[in-house]
Amino acid sequence: MEIIEDRHGEHSIIIASQLPVEAWHEIIGEQTIADAILDRLVHNAHRIDIKGESMRKKMKNKD
């Protein structure tokens, strides 16, 4: 939370996750902190949600 608070509105933050944003509340655990983090990250975010089969599987099948 400290990192998010320090950078919010001042600097960029890049986050890569295998978990969908909808699952972050459960993973973070504490609802108040999860709300604060997600409010600062999600509302001004440029999200890229990637769907489909793993490229690792596709590349492995070509061998």
The pLDDT, as a whole number, for residue 63 is 60
Considering the entire predicted model, what is its pTM? 0.56
The pLDDT, as a whole number, for residue 16 is 82
What single letter denotes the amino acid at residue 62? K
DSSP 30-62: -HHHHHHHHHHHHTT-------SS-HHHHHHHH
- Domain extent listing, the chain: 2-62
The pLDDT, as a whole number, for residue 17 is 81
Measure the CA–CA gap between 13 and 26, rounded to whole angstroms: 21
Measure the CA–CA gap between 8 and 58, rounded to whole angstroms: 38
- Buried b / exposed e across 35-56, counting CB within 10 Å, b at 16+? ebbbebbeeeeeeeeeeeeeee
pLDDT, averaged per 10 consecutive residues of the chain (63 residues), comes to: 75 81 85 85 80 77 68
